[in-house]
Structure 1
Amino acid sequence: MMSLGDVERVVLALPGTEEATRYGTRTWKVGGKAYAWERPFSKADLKRFGDETPPSGPILALVVEDLAEKEAVLQARAGDGFFTIPHFDGYAAVLVQLDEVSEAVLKEALLDAWLVHAPADVAKAHLGNR
Structure 2
Amino acid sequence: MAATWDDVSAIARDLPSAEEGIRFDDPMWKVGKNVFVWVRPLRRRDLEELGDAAPTGVIIGASTADIGERLALIDEDPRAFFATSHFDNYAAILIALDHVDPDRLREVVTDAWLARAPKRLAAEFERGLAR
**2:91 and 2:111 mapped to 1: Cα distance?**
13
Deviations 1:68-113 (A, max 9, x none): 222122212325x111112212221111110111111000001111
Query: What is the CA-CA distance between 1:31 and the residue it aligns to?
Result: 2.2
TM score, norm. by length of structure 1? 0.89
Matched residue of 1:20: which SS?
Answer: strand
Q: Which amino acid aligns with 2:78?
A: A
Partner of 2:16: 15
RMSD: 1.6
Q: Aligned partner of 2:37: which letter?
A: A
Paired with 1:125 and 1:72, the residues of 2 have a C-alpha distance of 26
**1:104 is the counterpart of 2:103:** yes
**Aligned equivalents of 1:41 and 1:71: distance in 2?**
19
> Which deviates more, 100-109 or 53-62?
53-62
TM-score, L = length of structure 2: 0.88
Report the more deviating stretch, 93-102 or 70-79. 70-79
2:115 alignment counterpart: 116
| 2:76 aligned partner | 76
Between the aligned partners of 2:70 and 2:55, the Cα distance in structure 1 is 19
How far residue 53 of structure 1 moved from its aligned partner, in angstroms, is 4.5
Give unmatched runs, 5+ long, in structure 1.
none
Once structures 1 and 2 are overlaid, which stretch shifts more, 67-76 or 12-21? 67-76
Distance 1:47 1:73 in 2: 22
CA distance in 2, matches of 1:68, 1:126: 23
Letter in 2 for 1:97: A
Gap runs ≥5 in structure 2:
none
Once the two structures are aligned, what percentage of the paired residues are identical?
Answer: 34
* Separation of aligned partners in 2, 1:129 and 1:108: 16
Q: Give the match's secondary structure for 1:78.
A: coil
Greater Cα shift, 39-48 or 27-36 = 39-48
Q: Tell me the equivalent position of 2:63.
A: 63
Output the amino acid matched with 2:46: D
Give the whole-Å Cα distance in 2 for the aligned partners of 1:70 and 1:42: 20
Q: How many residues align?
A: 128
